């Protein structure tokens, strides 16, 4: 088998950010309005701090105003909810994102349900999850699965009839990913920690999306020759030199010899997630002002 094509998430994300920026500038010329995104970070998890900084910086580069909010790890739930209520009312803020995970004493469910669904650029509010599940118009869709789908469709624009396997069933990645693939007319299987014969299930898949959070979990022998493999996993593993290295949920070197196409980690789904956040902010902005959905 020839070596797999590498799906360059970093490059596709760059194109997407440029397209968002053009649309933002056009809308600004026409209406003299600027989209805004509020990103809330609770606590000082170093990885979350990096992701949030990237989100704010890339917003500004795309002409979107960023409103960063940082709260201490021991903040009362009440105070976070009050902040969200304020952002819901703030007309400059079109998108609200509360970076996860939150400290244990705060109810993630309560926080996500407090965000106004039209400003829910993460698509984690139950109303948006429901809209996605029933195929209703106006759903805000989670950024990571949207990014994965864009990458898959770059390789294969028409997915009808393809067998897709989503490994992982979280509300933020696995379930919405499965919904999107189903909407593209794939035959979708969702696998998880209780799945029997995981390797056998994976081997059937023309499209394999891995979102388990376990380093190099999916082996080369699990992959159907020629399959499209999307690696969502972000795992930090120690190197011999005593530093940390980022690896995905797929044994990339093994997969390269079997898959038809594969997204790398880093440089795959991660940058796409952030680019899709800018896109979602633009969509939310357009909907709030009664403009047509953007063409990006």
Residue 68 in contact with ligand NAP, rule: CB under 6 A: no
- Which is the catalytic residue, given 58, 120, 122, 206? 122
Which of 54, 187, 189, 235: binder of ligand NAP (CB under 6 A)? 235
Active-site residue 99, yes or no?
A: yes
Q: 226, 243 in Cβ contact below 8 A?
A: no
List 89, 194, 243, 295, residue binding ligand NAP (CB under 6 A): 194
Q: Round to whole Å and give the CA distance between 82 and 86.
A: 6
* 216: contact with ligand NAP by CB under 6 A: no
Question: Which residues have C-beta within 8 Å of that of residue 269, sequence separation ≥ 6?
Answer: 9, 144, 147, 148, 151, 230, 231, 232, 263
List Cβ neighbours of 126 (8 Å cut-off, separation of 6 or more): 112, 113
122 carries an active-site annotation: yes
Contact segment (CB under 6 A) with ligand NAP among 33-41, 63-71, 128-136, 169-177 equals: 169-177
| Maximum alpha-carbon separation in the chain | 57
Binding mask 253-272 for ligand NAP (x = CB under 6 A): ----------------xx--
Q: What is the smallest separation between the CB atom of 1 and ligand NAP, expressed in angstroms?
A: 26
Q: State the catalytic residues.
A: 55, 99, 122
What are the residues binding ligand NAP (CB under 6 A)?
Answer: 144, 168-170, 172-174, 192-195, 198, 211-214, 232-235, 269-270, 273
């Amino acid at each position: 088998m020839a070596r797999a094509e590498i799906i360059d998430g970093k490059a596709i994300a760059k194109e997407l950010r440029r397209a968002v920026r053009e649309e933002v500038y056009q809308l600004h010329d026409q209406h003299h309005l600027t989209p805004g995104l509020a990103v809330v970070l609770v606590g000082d998890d170093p990885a979350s701090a990096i992701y949030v900084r990237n989100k704010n910086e890339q917003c500004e580069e795309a002409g979107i105003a960023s409103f960063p909010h940082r709260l201490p790890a021991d903040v009362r739930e009440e105070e976070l909810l009050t902040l969200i209520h304020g952002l819901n009312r703030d007309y400059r803020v079109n998108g609200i994102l509360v970076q996860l995970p939150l400290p244990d004493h705060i109810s993630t469910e309560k926080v996500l349900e407090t965000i106004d669904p039209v400003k829910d650029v993460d698509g984690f509010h139950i109303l948006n999850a429901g809209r996605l599940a029933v195929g209703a118009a106006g759903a805000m869709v989670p950024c990571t699965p949207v990014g994965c789908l864009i990458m898959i469709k770059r390789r294969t624009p028409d997915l009808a009839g393809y067998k897709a396997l989503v490994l992982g069933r979280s509300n933020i990645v696995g379930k919405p990913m499965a919904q999107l693939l189903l909407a593209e007319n794939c035959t979708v299987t969702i696998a998880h920690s209780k799945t029997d014969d995981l390797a056998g299930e994976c081997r059937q898949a023309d499209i394999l999306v891995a979102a388990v959070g376990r380093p190099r979990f999916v082996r080369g022998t699990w992959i159907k020759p020629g399959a499209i493999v999307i690696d969502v996993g972000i795992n930090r593993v120690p190197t011999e030199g005593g530093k940390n290295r980022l690896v995905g949920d797929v044994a990339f070197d093994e997969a390269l010899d079997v898959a038809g196409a594969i997204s790398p980690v880093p440089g795959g789904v991660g940058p796409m997630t952030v680019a899709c956040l800018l896109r979602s902010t633009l969509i939310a902005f357009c909907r709030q002002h009664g403009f047509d959905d953007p063409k990006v």
